[in-house]
Structure 1
Amino acid sequence: MNQTNTSERTIFQTVLRILLGAFLAFAGTGHLTWHRTEFLAQVPTWLPIDADLVVLLSGVVEISLGLSLIFLRNKQVQVGWVVALFFVLIFPGNISQYMNGISAFGLDTDRARLIRLFFQPVLVLWALWSCGSWQNFRAKSKN
C-alpha cells in the first residue's frame, strides 16, 4: 500500500480511525478541564516532572493526535505509528495506577485496574490497523 493512498483502506478502518481520533481529542480535552484530577492519578510518582504539567502536556498531545487521525488523511500511515507509540509511552502510567492501587475513572479495585491494562495493546493495534500503518509495514517488508 502506498503511504499516501487512503483509498485502499476500508470504510470500517476509516470509521474506526475517526472514532479513535474523536476519543483522543475528547480525552485530551478532559486532561485540560473536567478530568484533570483523574488523570493526575495516572502519572507515575517516579516521574521527575510536575504531575500537573504532565497531565496538561499529554492533553495537548492527545488533542493533536486525535485531530491528526481525523484530518491528516495523506499522512495516516505515519500518524498511526505516532499514536501507537503514544499509547506505549503512557502505559507506565496505567501500570503505576495498578501497582499503587490508585482509584480513578471508576477503577476502584485491583481487578478493574488490571483488566484495564489489557486494553492498552488493543489501542496500539487499533491505531496501527485503522491507519494502515501495519499493512504498509508488511507490504514494504515483502519487497
Structure 2
Amino acid sequence: MHSSAANPPATSVPRVLGRVLLGAALVFAGTSHLTFARHAFYAQIPPWLPLNATFVIIASGIVEIVLGIALVVVPRHRVVLGWAAAALFVVVFPGNVSQFLTHSPAFGLDSDLSRGVRLLFQPLLVVWALWCTGAWSALRRRPPEAPVA
C-alpha cells in the first residue's frame, strides 16, 4: 500500500469522503434526471445527437444513480468505478458544449459566461473521479506491458 503524503492511498479519509460525496452527487443528479429537473436536461441534448432526447435523459439518469450508489457501496471496485465516472463526465461534455453553443438557459445558467464557466469545471469532475477512487494512482502503479514481439 502506498502511503506517501503527496499521494495518499485511495482508502485515506479525504479520498473516501471525496468518493462518497461524488457518489451522492451522482445519485442526486441522476434522480433529478428522472424527476424534478427532467425538462431542464433537454437544454443539454445536442441537436445533432441521433437518439431520442427523453431516452438519453432517462438512461443517463439511471447510469448516474447506479454509478453513484456503486461508488459508495462497492469500494472494492472503486478503481473501475472511478474510470467509469470519469468516462461519464467526458461523454456528457458535448451536451454542456451544446448548451453553450445554442445559448440554452437551464439550471440557472442564463448567460454565455455562466455556461462557459461551467465548461471549465467539467475537467475537474474527471480529476475528482480519478483522484478519489485511486484510479489514476492505480494506472501509474501498473507495471509496463511487455513489448509485443
**Corresponding position of 1:51:** 53
Tell me, yes or no, if structure 1 residue 137 matches structure 2 residue 145.
Answer: no
Residues 1-143 of structure 1 aligned to structure 2 (within 5 Å): 9-141=11-143
Distance 1:29 1:40 in 2: 15
Q: Which runs of 5+ in 1 are unaligned?
A: none
How many percent identity over aligned positions? Answer: 47
List per-residue Cα deviations over 1:31-70 (Å, max 9, x = no partner). 0000001111101111111111110000000001100111
Distance 1:8 1:107, change over 3 A: closer
Distance 2:49 2:143 in 1: 37
RMSD across aligned positions (CA): 1.6
Q: Which runs of 5+ in 2 are unaligned?
A: 3-8
Tell me the amino acid that sits aligned with residue 52 of structure 1.
T
- TM-score, normalising length from structure 2? 0.89
Tell me the amino acid that sits aligned with residue 101 of structure 1.
H
How many matched pairs? Answer: 139
Retained in 1: the 8 A contact 2:99–2:115? yes
Distance 2:143 2:33 in 1: 38
**Corresponding position of 2:5:** none
Larger radius of gyration: 2
Distance 2:48 2:132 in 1: 33
Higher RCO, 1 vs 2 (CA within 8 Å, ≥6 residues apart)? 1
Distance 2:55 2:77 in 1: 29
List per-residue Cα deviations over 1:78-135 (Å, max 9, x = no partner). 1000110010000000000001100000000000000000110000000000000001
Tell me the amino acid that sits aligned with residue 23 of structure 1.
A
Structure 1 position 139, deviation (Å): 1.0
